[in-house]
């Protein structure tokens, strides 16, 4: 007796549109609105420090969504995702510095430029798989970092570039952190909507097909090359948007912010969040930011312990701390928080039966 | 004195143009046309809807198609198929031409079909898919009077160029052509139907002798339904799931009548295998299940709860007694103390609301159990988990359910409730129940002697023993013939003991023997799945059904079950010995009737060797049995059956 | 583009259907002429001429010729390692043959990539189940329809109404296949935890979803018990009859081959040693030798 | 002209160290199919430990060398037992992420060891001096390093050819499932390969620390070695050695000719450009095995 436990008893679908709805019953639609409403109320409950954490979590979730599409859904390993976020930041910075464009004009470009570059680096993915692709993206990361830090005339080299906040829109002045948080949150909600729809439509299925069995997918009429390049393109588009929004918050961006360890943390915390689900990407970004805050608490502790100058202690501890968290998750909870959340939801929905 | 039937009939039925099914169809069509749903069927994963307008047109064209096929008034159409809109459309179309429909069971063997078709001299047949059509073709020579067989699921029939077969849609086309030739022929066919015409001819296989066809008229159906509606009102917004075999009277009175009279929507399941998930999707407000199905649901819940994690099991096991306490109080018509009632609400919100959601009964107001008597333990179990099961009693000869426990708050676990308005219950001296009133059918088709035997001056002799308590509630004990007496004169009811035995999740079926013997013995049919799971949990290796049934530990387990039941039974009628059968009772080997009731004489004859062995005090009996392997090969196997005696 | 399919929620007419109606309609819409001629010899849909395939020094196939006529069931039999699956892989474009040409419906497809070949209508199933384990049964079948779904991925991401309708239409066609293959109960379960027999059926469903004009089945009945084999045989015959498409069948179970195949090709060590009707194959000495070994 | 010759010799010496590092990668990849990104960080630890022995605790060279090697071995055992053992059944992505995180973990430990003095201690602790042969200016350390590397690689080759354990490792390299069925304790073989790889890496770290100064910049060489390994093919020792030398020479040539043209320090860039080229043209490297995918 395989009943559909995702639907409460008494809901039946009269057409395929109803069948496809995620939030099918009025109760679930209300829960969704409640969730979104609470997200918008959060800034009024916390101080500025809280707002900065929330803004960065939202920006990073968009980046994580991009990586989820490339690695979680399409199975192509990318160890250079932070670099593409960097390109997004620098595109906005350069356009504002040299051409004086407004932030609103730069935002779409901040998505398109990394998208094109991502597609360029997606091409090797056509002929190589798995580990070799990881090398290609690693190389891509270094090439991008090298170009940005050495093209002094345009990118102002290693001493970074200014990015100013977006101009007022419909009377909302975005220089205030709270308003800027609303902008980033709205962008995140839109991006989550786009990513969810992507996974439920034709391209989403093609991505999963390529991940699960790309030999069979090829013979089953899916153009593998086209799908992989698109995966890289869309993933890097998300990374670009995340970079632009994140960078504009700090209003200054530097090459150090997207080094090799950032790319590795992207991949690592995606594992913590969980592959193959939208919730996994958001959970990963949230855990990453929370770990950030925790590691800053660690430094005073480190001082008492080491007694030496603490400036290097926080850097060392954050490296060790993150790496341990990711490895522990990978060994003991390989399918991440999203899977654990799925199990809890399933157990509740099956209550009181075991299966 | 004006008999009860005329009084109720006049009281409920207002205008003459609403006293037959076709007229009611026309009324609904005129009243709602396209803005209310009549039928809803699940196909290709979604529920398609047929409004009253669609239904009316389809039935009109099908009826006219039948007339162009030579269907005359008073003719019969025999329909054999799974629950589908076509089934009821064919029935109402035949009825609107003044004819009537004969219900056939899909899982009956060709010889049964042949007898019913010949006896009811149906001239046109309807079958749903290739399987039924092949069955009918195999008996084609024996039923010469059948002109056409209409089928509606054409899967795999592309190769059949036989003129004898015709598709449902082709009949619709013929109907459209006929309508051009004779405009509004259908309307005056409908207006010619009378309340006294035979609506439906239903053959009850019964546990004895050949099937008998009861002639059920519109008056019976409508009168009885209005009686029911007066006590338990149906509303327009109700949903009704059609999954019981359409050839059973329950389906007519419980699905077709409310749909036509009250506009309750009928939902048709996708396939027999998906009944449970469709039931959960529709969540019908009123549901009628046989006692067997309630017992299956109950043992399934118990089996799952055994495997569930500890915190779920703790919640379930701590709140179930609360339910039992409340049920106890209700039985004694007392108000339970506030403490228990609060606990019940807590239990509802933590466990039982979810439990009902999983089995699909959240919106069910009146879950009814009919057919065989439901064992008191199952009854109390469902009361415990908050499903207010009520028992009913009736038979085809009185057009379905006549007696029902009405107030869900108050019930007796062994009782069958009070008769509907318009139905009269009387008892003969030796306790046989007589049913009269609006439900009594006109008699058996073409069997005047049987009719005379069963129907005397307006009352139907049910052949079931029972008694009435002071509040007028009817208690059905057992079939009079089945009441058995031991050698020492002690009377006992085998079905009562069998009911208690079947409550245990490890026993699927049981047969108690003891007529004219010195003690009671039992033949148990083990539930392979649950017992197998119990064996695995206790690390007892087993291979097949015959092997598991004879393992000593399993016999110890079942002996324990019997011992518990024996404590409730009077001393003399306790089960002294039992054996575990090596295979299930199977309708295809005619050990059970179509509705899963036990055929006692046949089974007693078949296993006479085993029964005698039990009474001669043997410890072990060897029997041969054929085993069919997965790839179709069969092999004969000698198997020892052990006889277990119960201590004390 | 005019709505080729009747309204998806069409009432009742479909029930009086021989099954796979929506799928047949899609195929007829794309290649109307395909269904005119009967099982005649004239219309050869797929032809492979002297195919040679070798991996390094190992010669897997040695100038194999294969012809598939319209509407017939062709069985390819031979001992293990005779190159049957290699031949199928070459035809479906997965391996590149060193020598030889392949023509499908008049077009030369030797060089075209395998996804283009699939789009033309040459669909296949795999010997050891190539299903997408991450998707549910219904998604696997809709994923099979990938080349026949027409909306831009951006429209999909923004869930424009026409993309929504297109998804619903594809779901209807997939449901049509599920209804035909009787997979209703397992419609939403993940493919990973299905029984072996069911997975073979889902794979057949996915191949059907590609609107096939030639269906290549690689050991559809391996590892099945008696009644599963009967079901699969019934499905194959029904498909051949409803869609009027030729089916190439690789099978070891001689009982099945003998009673459903119209023509048999026998391969041994990469060489074609015999071809003809089932009866001829029974007596052909070379075939017996290939199976039972010389002397 | 003179400069090119000088660069050529200097390149070979550097190349020796790169090929040593490349070999440490191949040792692990060939047997456990896991690419050890973490070896780049083991380099740093090797350098620091050697620095502590010689400078902080004033121990003689040979004792310092011994301590470094044993520290490398212990680190290898710890990594294999704590992390790698649990990842055997995981999809290919898990080991990649774990090794990457290990690299950063060890870098963090490196910072702690080096007490934050990121740039390291600069003065070389091995005998300083240079030989003047004709116009060539050959620093003594380079030659010593090169000799040590060739000696080590030779020893490794002998170990593989002659000893029983070496033979076992070569079997595991081919296929660990088959090895397991033959009764080999694959786990111990994994442990050996990690130990050997970490020892080699720490020795290479010691040498590089000597040349470039002990500091966090050393792991840049690790990434260059990755380019070398890929160039030579992941599965062959010979490929790794030759590629290491070629990269060394190439790097020296770029310093002289190409560096002035491009802004910024390009020593790191050229290997990665080469890496991308290799991946585009010949993904499996010069001597790597191309895998035939079975369907």
For residue range B295-335, list pLDDT tens digits in order.
888 888 888 888 888 888 898 988 888 888 888 887 777 77
**What residues of chain A lie within 8 A of the CB of C210, using their CB?**
220-221
Strands (E), B448-531: 455-456, 459-468, 474-479, 484-485, 491-492, 507-513, 520-526
Dump pLDDT digits (tens) for D171-229. Answer: 877 777 788 788 888 888 888 889 989 998 888 888 887 777 777 777 777 888 888 88
The two structure tokens encoding residue C219: 């050991």
**Token pair belonging to A244:** 């632009």
Q: Is B303 on the interface with A (CB under 8 A)?
A: no
Q: Mind listing the pLDDT tens digit for each residue in B216-230?
A: 888 888 888 888 888
- pLDDT tens, position by position, C237-277: 888 888 888 999 998 888 888 888 889 988 888 888 888 88
Residue of C nearest to B48 (CA): C9
Please, what is the average pLDDT of chain A? 87
What mean pLDDT is predicted for residues A198-226?
90
Report the alpha-carbon distance of residue C281 to residue C41 in Å, rounded.
19
pLDDT value of residue A1: 47
In Å, how far from its chain's centre is CA B270? Answer: 19
C93, C115, C174: best to mutate for the A interface, most A CBs within 10 A: C115
Whether the CB of C210 is below 8 Å from some CB of chain A: the reply is yes
Neighbouring CB atoms inside 10 A of D273's CB total 16
Cα distance between residue A209 and residue A221, in whole Å = 11
The pLDDT confidence band at residue A190, using thresholds 50, 70 and 90, is very high
| Tokens, residue B125 | 């047949």
Identify which of D16, D29, D1, D106 has the alpha carbon closest to the alpha carbon of residue D284.
Answer: D29
The answer to whether B129 and B81 have CB atoms below 8 angstroms apart is yes
Residue listed under structure tokens 């009441």: B483
CA distances from B43 to B49, B62, B150, C280 (A): 10, 22, 21, 45
In this structure, the strands spanning B484-485 and B491-492 are antiparallel
B155 in contact with C, Cβ within 8 Å: yes
User: Could you tell me which residues are beta bridge partners of residue B47?
Assistant: B42
CB contact under 8 Å between D109 and A320, yes or no, is yes
Tokens coding C247: 């089916």
What are chain B's partners, defined as 3 or more CB pairs within 8 angstroms? A, C
Its CATH architecture, for the domain D2-281, is Orthogonal Bundle (1.10)
DSSP string, B202-234: EEE--SSSS-EEEEEEHHHHHHHHHHHHHHS--
- Cβ–Cβ contact C156 with A under 8 A: yes
Confirm if B162 and B127 have CB atoms less than 8 A apart.
no
How far apart CA C182 and CA B44 sit, in angstroms, is: 11
Residue of C nearest to A190 (CA): C158
Q: Give dist(CA A274, CA A333) in Å, integer.
A: 9
Q: Each residue's pLDDT tens digit in chain D (295 positions)?
A: 677 777 777 778 778 888 888 888 888 887 787 888 888 888 888 888 888 887 777 777 788 888 888 999 999 999 888 888 877 767 778 888 999 999 999 888 888 877 756 555 555 555 555 666 666 666 666 777 778 778 888 888 888 778 888 888 778 777 777 887 888 888 888 888 899 899 988 888 888 877 777 777 777 778 888 888 888 877 777 888 888 888 888 877 777 777 666 666 666 677 777 777 877 777 666 666 666 555 5
Subunits next to C (3 or more Cβ pairs <8 Å) are A, B, D
Closest to A15 (Cβ–Cβ): which among B46, B276, B363? B46
Nearest to C205 by CA among C135, C158, C278: C135
Instruction: Write the residue in C157, C188, C206 that is nearest to A4 by C-beta.
Output: C188
**Residues of chain A positioned with their CB less than 8 A from the CB of D111:** 312, 315-316, 319
For the stretch A25-77, pLDDT in tens is: 899 999 999 999 999 998 888 888 889 999 999 999 999 999 999 999 998 88
CB-CB neighbours of B285 under 10 Å: 17
Interchain contact, C172 vs B44, CB within 8 Å = yes
> Could you tell me what percent of chain B has a pLDDT over 90?
7
Cα–Cα distance for residue pair B22/B92, rounded to 1 Å: 6
3-state secondary structure chain D: CHHHHHHHHHHHHHHHHHHHHHHHHHHHHHHHCCCCCCHHHHHHHHHHHHHHHHHHCCCCHHHHHHHHHHHHHHHHHHHHHHCHHHHCCCCCHHHHHHHHHHHHHHHHHHHHHCCCCCCCCCCCCCCCCEEEECCEEEEHHHHHHHHHHHHHHHHHHHHHHHCHHHHHHHHHHHCHHHHHHCCCCHHHHHHHHHHHHHHHHHHHHHHHHHHHCCCHHHHHHHHHHHHHHHHHCCCCHHHHHHHHHHHHHHHHHHHHHCCCCCCCCCCCHHHHHHHHHHHHHCCCCCCCCCCCCCC
3-class SS of residue B270? coil
- Give the helix/strand (H/E) hosting C88: helix C84-91
Chains D and B lie in contact, requiring 3 or more CB pairs less than 8 Å apart: no
| Of B224, B225, B6, B246, residue with least CA distance to B102 | B246
Is residue B478 scored above 80 in pLDDT?
no
**Cβ–Cβ gap C55/D292 under 8 Å:** yes
- Can you give the pTM of this predicted structure? 0.85
The hierarchical CATH code for the domain A51-349 is 1.10.3470
Contact B631 C19 (CB under 8 A): no
CA pair distance B151, B155, nearest whole angstrom: 10
How does residue C106 score in pLDDT terms, banded at 50, 70 and 90?
confident
Q: Which residue has the tokens 């940005």?
A: A148
Structure tokens that stand for B630 in this block: 């997965």
Q: What is the pLDDT of residue A186?
A: 93
Give the DSSP H or E segment for C51: strand C44-55
Looking at residue D125, what is its pLDDT?
56
Q: What does the DSSP assignment read for B319-359?
A: HHHHHHHHHHHHHTT-PPPHHHHHHHHHHIIIIIHHHHHHH
> Is A352 within 8 Å of B283 when comparing Cβ atoms?
no
With a CB cutoff of 8 Å and minimum separation 6, the contacts of C181 are C201, C202, C204, C205, C208, C235
Which alpha helices (H) appear in chain A, and where do they start and end? 16-20, 26-45, 48-67, 81-94, 103-122, 124-127, 130-150, 152-155, 177-200, 202-219, 224-250, 260-273, 278-306, 311-332, 336-350
Using CB atoms, pick whichever of D109, D118, D279 lies closest to residue A135.
D279
* SS3 per residue for A107-152: HHHHHHHHHHHHHHHHCHHHHCCHHHHHHHHHHHHHHHHHHHHHCH
Residue B477 has pLDDT above 80, yes or no: no
Tell me which residue in A9, A10, A19 faces B45 most closely, judged by beta carbons: A19
**Residue C4 above 50 pLDDT?**
no
Pick the residue from chain C with its C-alpha nearest to B632.
C226
ipTM of the complex as predicted = 0.82
Q: Quick one: pLDDT at residue C5?
A: 42
* Chain D neighbors of C89, CB-CB under 8 A: 295
pLDDT at B78: 92
Q: What does the buried/exposed string (b/e) look like for A304-327 if buried means 16 or more CB atoms within 10 Å of the residue's CB? A: eebeeebebbbbbbbbbbbbebbb
Q: Between chains, do C11 and B270 touch, taking CB under 8 Å as contact? A: no
User: So what's the pLDDT on residue B1?
Assistant: 37
Residue B424's DSSP bridge partners are: B436
* A70, burial (CB in 10 Å: exposed 0-12, middle 13-18, buried 19+): buried
Average pLDDT over residues C84-97: 87
Residues of chain C neighbouring D292 (CB-CB closer than 8 A): 55
- CA distance linking residue C105 with residue C90, whole number of Å: 17
D295 and chain C: CB distance < 8 Å anywhere? yes
Contact B153 C12 (CB under 8 A): no
Contact between residue C135 and residue A208 where contact means Cβ atoms under 8 Å apart: yes
Beta bridge partners of B290: B370
**What percent of chain B is predicted at pLDDT more than 70?**
94
Q: Do C156 and A4 touch (CB under 8 A)?
A: no
CA dist., res. D135 & res. D2, Å (int): 7
Contact between B312 and A354 using a beta-carbon 8 Å cutoff? yes
SS (HEC) of B79-98: EECCCCHHHHHHHHHHHHCC
Residues of D in contact with C130 (CB under 8 A): 295
C167 CB neighbours in chain A (<8 A) are 16, 20, 200-201
Q: Kindly report the number of other CB atoms within 10 A of residue C29's CB atom.
A: 13
C176: chain B residues, CB-CB within 8 Å: 44
d(CA B273, CA C182): 11
Q: Does residue B626 contact residue B240 with C-beta atoms inside 8 Å?
A: no
Give C55's contacts in chain D (Cβ within 8 Å).
292
Q: Tell me the average pLDDT across C15-41.
A: 68
What are the φ/ψ torsions at residue D224 (nearest 5 degrees)?
A: -65, -40
Which residues does residue B577 pair with via DSSP β-bridges, in sequence order? B521, B645
State the pairing for strand pair B390-395/C247-250: unpaired
Query: Which region, left, alpha or beta, applies to residue A351 given φ > 0 means left and ψ of -120 to 50 means alpha?
Result: beta
Of B250, B301, B259, nearest to B276 by C-alpha is B301
CB D187 within 8 A of CB D169: no
* B45 shares contact with chain C (CB less than 8 Å): yes
Residues 6+ apart with CB under 8 A from D105: A319, A320, A323, A324, A327, D38, D41
Residue C1's pLDDT is what? 30
Q: Is A2 an 8 Å CB contact of chain B?
A: yes
Phi, psi angles (nearest 5°) of residue B619: -90, -25
Q: Is the peptide bond before B566 cis (omega within 30 degrees of 0)?
A: no
């Amino acid at each position: 007796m395989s009943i559909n436990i995702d639907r409460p008893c008494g809901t039946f679908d009269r057409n395929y549109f109803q069948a496809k709805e995620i939030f099918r019953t009025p109760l679930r639609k209300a829960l969704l609105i409640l969730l979104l409403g609470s997200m918008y109320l959060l800034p009024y409950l916390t101080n500025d420090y809280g707002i900065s954490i929330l803004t960065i979590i939202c920006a990073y979730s968009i980046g994580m969504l991009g990586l989820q599409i490339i690695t979680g859904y399409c199975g192509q390993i990318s160890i250079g995702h932070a670099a593409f976020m960097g390109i997004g930041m620098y595109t906005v910075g350069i356009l504002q510095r040299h051409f004086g464009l407004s932030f609103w004009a730069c935002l779409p470009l901040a998505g398109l430029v990394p998208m094109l570059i991502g597609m360029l680096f997606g091409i090797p993915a056509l002929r190589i798989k798995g580990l070799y692709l990881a090398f290609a993206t690693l190389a891509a990361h270094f090439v991008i970092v090298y170009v940005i830090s050495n093209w002094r005339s345009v990118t102002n080299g290693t001493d970074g570039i200014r990015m100013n906040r977006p101009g007022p829109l419909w009377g909302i002045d975005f220089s205030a952190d709270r308003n800027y948080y609303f902008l980033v949150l709205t962008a995140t909600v839109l991006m989550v909507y786009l990513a969810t729809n992507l996974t439920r439509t034709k391209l989403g299925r093609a991505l999963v097909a390529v991940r699960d069995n790309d030999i069979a997918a090829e013979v089953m009429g899916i153009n593998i090359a086209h799908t992989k390049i698109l995966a890289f393109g869309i993933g890097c588009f998300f990374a670009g948007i995340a970079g632009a929004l994140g960078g504009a918050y700090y209003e200054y961006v530097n090459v150090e912010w997207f080094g090799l360890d950032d790319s590795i943390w992207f991949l690592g915390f995606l594992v913590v969040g969980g592959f193959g689900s939208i919730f996994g990407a958001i959970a990963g970004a949230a855990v990453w930011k929370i770990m950030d805050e925790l590691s800053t608490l660690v430094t005073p502790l480190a001082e008492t312990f080491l007694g030496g100058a603490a400036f290097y202690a926080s850097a060392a501890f954050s490296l060790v701390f993150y790496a341990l968290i990711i490895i522990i998750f990978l060994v003991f909870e390989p399918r991440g928080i999203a899977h654990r959340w799925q199990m809890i939801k399933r157990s509740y929905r099956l209550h009181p039966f075991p299966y | 004195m004006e008999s009860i039937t005329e009084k109720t009939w006049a009281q409920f039925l207002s205008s003459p143009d609403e006293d037959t099914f076709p007229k009611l169809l026309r009324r609904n069509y005129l009243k709602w046309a396209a803005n209310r749903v009549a039928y809803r069927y699940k196909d290709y994963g979604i529920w398609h809807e047929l409004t009253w307008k669609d239904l009316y047109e389809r039935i009109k064209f099908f009826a006219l198609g039948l007339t162009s096929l030579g269907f005359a008034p008073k003719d019969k159409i025999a329909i054999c198929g799974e629950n589908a809109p076509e089934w009821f459309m064919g029935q109402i179309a035949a009825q609107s031409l003044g004819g009537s429909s004969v219900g056939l069971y899909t899982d009956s063997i060709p010889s049964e079909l042949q007898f019913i078709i010949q006896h009811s001299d149906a001239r046109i047949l309807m079958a749903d898919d290739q399987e039924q059509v092949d069955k009918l073709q195999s008996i084609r020579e024996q039923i010469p009077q059948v002109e056409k067989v209409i089928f509606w699921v054409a899967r795999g029939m592309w190769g059949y160029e036989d003129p004898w077969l015709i598709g449902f849609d082709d009949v619709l086309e013929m109907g459209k052509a006929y309508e051009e030739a004779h405009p509004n022929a259908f309307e005056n066919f409908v207006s010619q139907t009378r309340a006294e015409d035979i609506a439906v001819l239903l053959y009850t296989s019964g546990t004895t002798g050949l099937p008998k066809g009861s002639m059920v008229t519109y008056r019976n159906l409508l009168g009885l339904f209005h009686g029911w509606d007066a006590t338990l009102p149906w509303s327009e917004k109700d949903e009704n799931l059609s999954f019981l075999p359409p050839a059973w009277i329950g389906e007519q009175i419980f699905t077709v009548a409310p749909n036509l009279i009250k506009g309750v929507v009928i939902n048709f399941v996708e396939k027999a295998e998906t009944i449970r998930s469709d039931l959960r999707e529709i969540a019908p407000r009123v549901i009628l299940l046989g006692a067997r199905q309630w017992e299956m649901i109950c043992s399934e819940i118990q089996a799952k709860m055994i495997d569930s994690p500890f915190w779920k099991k703790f919640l379930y096991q701590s709140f179930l007694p609360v339910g039992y306490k409340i049920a106890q109080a209700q039985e004694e018509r007392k108000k339970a103390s506030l403490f228990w009632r609060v606990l019940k609400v807590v239990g509802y919100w933590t466990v039982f609301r979810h439990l009902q959601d999983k089995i699909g009964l959240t919106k069910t107001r009146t879950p009814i159990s009919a057919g065989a008597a439901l064992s008191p333990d199952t009854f109390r179990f469902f009361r415990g988990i908050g499903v207010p099961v009520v028992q009913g009693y009736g038979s085809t000869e009185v057009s379905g359910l006549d007696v029902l426990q009405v107030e869900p708050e108050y019930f007796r676990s062994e009782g069958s409730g009070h008769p509907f308005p318009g139905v009269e219950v009387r008892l003969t001296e030796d306790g046989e129940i007589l049913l009269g009133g609006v439900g009594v059918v006109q008699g058996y088709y073409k069997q005047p002697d049987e009719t005379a035997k069963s129907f005397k001056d307006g009352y139907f002799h049910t052949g079931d023993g029972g008694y009435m308590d002071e509040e007028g509630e009817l208690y059905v004990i057992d079939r009079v013939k089945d009441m058995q007496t031991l050698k020492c004169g002690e009377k006992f009811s085998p079905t009562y003991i069998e009911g208690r035995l079947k409550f245990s999740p490890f026993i699927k079926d049981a047969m108690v023997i003891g007529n004219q013997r010195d003690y009671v013995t039992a033949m148990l049919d083990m539930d392979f799945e649950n017992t197998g799971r119990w064996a695995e949990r206790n690390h007892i290796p087993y291979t097949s059904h015959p092997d598991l049934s004879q393992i000593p530990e399993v016999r110890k387990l079942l002996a324990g079950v019997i011992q518990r039941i024996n404590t409730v039974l009077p001393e003399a009628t306790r089960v002294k010995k039992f054996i575990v059968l090596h295979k299930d009772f199977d309708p295809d080997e005619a050990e059970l009737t179509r509705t899963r009731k036990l055929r006692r004489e046949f089974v007693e004859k078949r296993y006479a060797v085993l029964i005698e062995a039990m009474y001669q005090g043997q410890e072990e009996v060897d029997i041969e049995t054929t085993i069919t392997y997965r790839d179709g090969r069969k092999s004969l196997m000698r198997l020892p059956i052990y006889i277990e005696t119960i201590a004390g | 583009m005019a709505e080729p399919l009747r309204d998806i929620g069409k009432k009742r007419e479909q029930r009086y259907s021989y099954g796979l109606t929506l799928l047949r309609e899609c195929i007829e819409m794309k290649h109307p002429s395909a269904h005119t001629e009967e099982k005649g010899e004239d219309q050869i849909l797929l032809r492979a001429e002297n195919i040679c395939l070798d991996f390094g020094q190992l010669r897997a196939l040695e100038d194999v010729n294969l012809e598939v006529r319209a509407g017939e069931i062709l069985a390819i039999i031979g001992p293990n390692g005779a190159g049957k699956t290699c031949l199928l892989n070459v035809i479906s474009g997965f391996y590149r043959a060193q020598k030889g040409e392949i023509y499908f419906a008049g077009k030369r497809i030797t060089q075209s990539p395998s996804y283009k070949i699939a789009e033309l209508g040459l669909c296949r199933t795999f010997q050891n189940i190539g299903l997408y384990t991450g998707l549910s049964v219904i998604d696997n079948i809709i994923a099979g329809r990938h080349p026949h779904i027409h909306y831009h991925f951006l429209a999909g991401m923004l869930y424009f109404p026409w993309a929504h309708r297109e998804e619903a239409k594809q779901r209807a066609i997939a449901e049509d296949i599920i209804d035909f293959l009787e997979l209703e109960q397992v419609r939403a379960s993940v493919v990973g935890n299905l029984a072996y027999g069911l997975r073979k059926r889902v794979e057949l469903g996915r191949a059907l979803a590609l609107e096939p004009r030639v269906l290549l089945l690689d050991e559809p009945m391996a590892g099945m018990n008696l009644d599963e084999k009967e079901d699969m045989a019934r499905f194959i015959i029904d498909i051949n009859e409803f869609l009027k498409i030729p089916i190439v069948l690789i099978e070891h179970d001689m009982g099945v081959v003998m009673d459903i195949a119209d023509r048999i090709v026998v391969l041994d060590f990469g060489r074609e040693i015999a071809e003809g009707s089932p009866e001829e194959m029974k007596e052909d000495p070379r075939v017996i030798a290939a199976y039972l070994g010389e002397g | 002209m003179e400069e090119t010759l000088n660069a050529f010799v200097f390149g070979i010496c550097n190349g020796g160290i790169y090929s040593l590092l490349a070999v440490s990668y191949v040792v692990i990849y060939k047997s456990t199919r896991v690419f050890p990104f973490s070896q780049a960080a083991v380099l740093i630890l090797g350098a620091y430990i050697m620095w502590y022995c010689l400078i902080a605790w004033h121990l003689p060279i040979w004792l310092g060398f011994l301590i470094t090697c044993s520290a490398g071995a212990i680190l290898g055992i710890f990594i294999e037992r704590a992390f790698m053992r649990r990842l055997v059944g995981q999809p290919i992505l898990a080991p990649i992420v774990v090794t990457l995180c290990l690299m950063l973990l060890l870098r963090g430990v490196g910072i702690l060891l080096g007490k934050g003095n990121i740039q390291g201690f600069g003065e070389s602790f091995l005998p300083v001096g240079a030989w003047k042969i004709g116009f060539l200016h050959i620093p003594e350390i380079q030659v010593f390093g090169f000799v040590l590397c060739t000696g080590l690689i030779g020893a490794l080759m002998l170990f593989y050819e002659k000893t029983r354990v070496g033979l076992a490792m070569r079997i595991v390299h081919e296929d660990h499932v088959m090895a397991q069925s033959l009764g080999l304790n694959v786990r111990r073989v994994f442990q050996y390969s990690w130990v050997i790889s970490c020892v080699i890496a720490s020795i290479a770290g010691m040498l590089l620390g000597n040349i470039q100064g002990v500091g966090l910049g050393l792991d840049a060489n690790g990434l260059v070695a990755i380019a070398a390994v890929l160039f030579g093919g992941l599965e062959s020792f010979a490929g790794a050695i030759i590629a290491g030398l070629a990269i060394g020479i190439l790097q020296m040539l770029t310093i002289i000719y190409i560096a002035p043209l491009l802004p910024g320090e390009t020593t790191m860039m050229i290997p990665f450009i080469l890496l991308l080229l290799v991946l585009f043209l010949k993904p499996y490297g010069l001597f790597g095995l191309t895998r035939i995918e079975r369907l």
